[in-house]
């Protein structure tokens, strides 16, 4: 549950950053400022994705150890592959 709370908090911060980007564009702020903020949002999304993949990986491995269901590992590999392409 703590992990879920942390992820929600991260996403709320990102939401605020995106709103900030919208305001910056509305206010005709400079490209440098906008791109700097956009870079921060991108990094925050990447870190959030990494946290989700880490948690998902742990859960898949735990479930695999219990069930020996190869499909769990196949799904994990597919998911990591998709995430890595982002």
Average pLDDT along the chain: 93
The verdict on domain 2-85 having CATH code 3.40.1410.10 is no
Residue 17, pLDDT score: 97
Check pLDDT > 90 for residue 6.
yes
pLDDT(50) > 80: yes
Total-model pTM? 0.79
* Helix 2-26 × helix 31-67 angle, to 10°: 160
Question: Quick one: pLDDT at residue 69?
Answer: 93
Token duo for residue 44? 């925050």
């Amino acid at each position: 549950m703590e992990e879920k709370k942390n992820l929600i908090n991260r996403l709320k911060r990102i939401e605020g950053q995106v709103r900030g980007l919208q305001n910056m564009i509305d206010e005709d702020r400079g490209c440098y400022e906008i791109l700097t903020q956009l870079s921060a949002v991108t990094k925050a999304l990447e870190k959030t994705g990494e946290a989700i993949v880490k948690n998902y990986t742990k859960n898949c491995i735990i479930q695999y150890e219990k069930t020996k269901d190869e499909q769990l590992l196949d799904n994990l590999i597919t998911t990591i592959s998709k995430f890595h392409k982002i």
